[in-house]
């Protein structure tokens, strides 16, 4: 499917963005782990949540989907799974369920976790390595008569075997000590959600954690459930421990002898050293700073989740396109259901736009945006907010001066390489944009319509649709069906505000 967009002059009206995908999927999985009946109010109905619901049903949960709520009935841990669980192309669901599949009891039969082709291209070595250290046995499923082979990270001596799907899980998640890469917050969140249900206590070490707000979102769920854990953060540059962020209700296990993860095990550097990326330079801002932190989590085992009722808040990631449209075009846009006190990192877009000169008023959970104000470029450290990097790139084309988006190499490890996809798309449309290994430099530009690739990435498609609204003439974006992943009624909602776009 293609998205056809024509130049738009004014955006006005009221809208309520979709509910948070990140909160919704966390809720579905924790409700599956809890014994009893839970309810998720104001749910998100999208392809990612459809995939998550199907997968949780495969773990034995009885899930009833209604317009205003999703009800989950579960027997809790130990889970009773089908022989195969498929998570589609939902990265959050796939990563979160890998350790959850180790909570089926020691006599459970092997289970296979499979996913979509897009998800299979994303790195998972670090999480697999950590799970093996925590007692799980994972095997790459045989193909064409070959025997199963143990999944192990591509490092060390001998032939490297990169873990890939489908993966077979044949033993329990016992707990213990392990390190995991900080390149994706989903790895750590997966462990934090599962390890409280393991038999033994655990110590998890993460160096240079990225996308930190998503981990804080997971912590908020754990805190609501009364889960016992301890979090210590260290600054490796000075080796001084910061004990200010500690959540515990009983004496934790000792933190000594934690296993630290080696970053040679993840694929970030491989991605950055690809044929084109190897010719790029890092953004200047990042050269001046070194992210050198270590997070240590101690998680008490043998705990249980309780059933709950939870209202899913609005999604700032999805709202980012509506907020940006309201800022870049004349008119007034009022958005409801957006709580600036929530732990979602992408709410930072509001602050960034205000600093650039946008007129955005916050009253409770309502944003009122008066558009058409002059914006000034600035330097944005996007390490914690990689999902809105495509949107920030479009904003940069309309801001006076230069906009530097820095410290966000992790944006290359999403559904597509978003630094590359936005550089190519905006360049085709006349944008003045330079790609770096870890960011983008964008200068004010006059955009024109063009046929561009969406790379089957919902964030790239929706961001480029904003560029199409700004451009002279007509813009066509392919793989527009990708928007169903998180924002199925995106076109309808944008049209209701005055955007000239349609599906073809």
Annotated catalytic sites, by residue? Answer: 387
Q: Is 418 annotated as contributing to ligand binding?
A: yes
Report the Cα 427 to chain-centroid distance in Å: 26
Q: Does the annotation list 186 as a binding residue?
A: yes
With b for 16 or more beta-carbon neighbours within 10 A and e for fewer, the 439-456 pattern comes to: bbbbbbbebbbbebbbbb
Q: Is the bond preceding residue 48 a cis peptide, omega within 30 degrees?
A: no
Q: What are the b/e assignments for 227-265, b being 16+ CB within 10 Å? A: bbbbbbbbeeeeeeeeeeeeeeeeebbeeeebbebebeb
262 is in an annotated binding site: no
144 is in an annotated binding site: no
122 labeled binding residue: yes
C-alpha–C-alpha distance, residues 228 and 304, integer Å: 10
- The answer to whether the annotation marks 300 as part of a ligand binding site is no
Phi and psi at residue 238, to the nearest 5°:
-120, -5
Q: Where are the alpha helices (DSSP H) in 106-152?
A: 117-120, 125-133
Residue 76 near residue 197 (C-beta atoms within 8 A): no
410 is in an annotated binding site: yes
Is residue 91 part of an annotated ligand binding site?
A: yes
184 among annotated binding-site residues:
yes
69 assigned ligand-binding residue: no
Is 21 annotated among the ligand-binding residues? yes
Give buried/exposed letters for 460-475 (b at 16+ CB in 10 A, else e).
bbbbbbbbbbbbeeeb
Number of C-beta neighbours around residue 11 at 10 A: 24
Cα 129 to chain centroid, rounded: 20
The answer to whether the CB of 7 falls within 8 A of the CB of 279 is no
Question: Phi/psi of residue 75, each to 5°?
Answer: -85, -5
Annotated binding site for 3-phosphoshikimate: 21-22, 26, 184-186, 387, 410, 414
Annotated binding site for phosphoenolpyruvate: 21, 91, 122, 186, 418, 459, 485
Annotated binding site: 21-22, 26, 91, 122, 184-186, 387, 410, 414, 418, 459, 485
């Amino acid at each position: 499917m293609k998205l056809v967009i024509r130049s738009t002059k004014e955006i006005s009206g009221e809208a309520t963005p979709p509910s948070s995908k990140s909160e919704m999927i966390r809720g579905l999985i924790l409700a599956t782990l809890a014994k009893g009946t839970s309810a998720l109010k104001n749910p998100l109905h999208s392809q990612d949540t459809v995939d998550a619901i199907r997968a949780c049903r495969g773990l034995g949960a009885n899930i009833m989907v209604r317009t205003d709520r999703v009800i989950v009935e579960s027997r809790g841990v130990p889970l009773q799974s089908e022989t195969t669980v498929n998570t589609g192309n939902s990265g959050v669901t796939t990563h979160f369920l890998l350790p959850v599949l180790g909570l089926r009891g020691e006599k459970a039969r092997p289970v296979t976790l499979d996913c979509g082709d897009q998800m299979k291209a994303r790195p998972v070595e670090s999480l697999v390595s950590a799970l093996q250290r925590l007692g799980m046995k994972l095997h790459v499923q045989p193909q064409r008569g070959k025997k199963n082979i143990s999944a192990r990270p591509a490092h060390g001596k001998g032939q490297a075997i990169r873990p890939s799907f489908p993966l077979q899980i044949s033993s329990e998640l016992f707990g213990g000590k392990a390190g995991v890469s900080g390149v994706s917050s989903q790895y750590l969140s997966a462990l934090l959600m599962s390890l409280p249900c393991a038999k033994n206590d655990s110590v998890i070490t993460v160096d240079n954690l990225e996308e930190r707000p998503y981990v804080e979102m997971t912590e908020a769920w754990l805190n609501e459930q009364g889960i016992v854990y301890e979090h210590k953060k260290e600054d490796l540059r000075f080796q001084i421990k910061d004990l200010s962020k500690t959540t515990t209700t009983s004496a934790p296990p000792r933190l000594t002898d934690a296993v630290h993860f080696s970053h040679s095990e993840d694929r970030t550097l491989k991605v950055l050293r690809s044929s084109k990326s190897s010719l790029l330079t890092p953004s200047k801002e990042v050269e001046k700073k070194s992210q050198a932190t270590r997070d240590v989590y101690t998680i008490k085992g043998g705990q249980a989740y309780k059933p709950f009722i939870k209202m899913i808040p609005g999604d700032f990631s999805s709202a980012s396109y509506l907020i940006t449209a309201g800022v870049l075009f004349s008119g007034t846009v009022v958005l409801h259901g957006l709580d600036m006190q929530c732990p979602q990192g992408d709410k930072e877009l509001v602050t960034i736009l205000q600093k650039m000169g946008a007129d955005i008023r916050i009253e409770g959970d309502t944003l009122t945006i008066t558009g058409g104000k002059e914006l000034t470029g600035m330097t944005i450290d996007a390490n914690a907010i990689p999902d809105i990097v495509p949107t920030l790139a479009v904003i940069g084309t309309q801001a006076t001066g230069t906009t530097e988006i820095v410290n966000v190499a992790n944006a290359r490890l999403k559904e597509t390489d978003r630094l590359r996809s936005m550089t190519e798309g905006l360049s085709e449309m006349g944008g003045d944009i330079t790609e770096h290994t870890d960011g983008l430099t964008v200068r004010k530009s006059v955009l024109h319509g063009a046929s561009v690739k969406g790379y089957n990435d919902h964030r790239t498609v929706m961001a480029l649709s904003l560029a199409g609204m700004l451009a002279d003439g007509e813009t066509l974006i392919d793989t527009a069906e990708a928007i169903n992943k998180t924002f199925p009624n995106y076109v309808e909602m944008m049209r209701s505000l005055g955007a000239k776009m349609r599906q073809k």
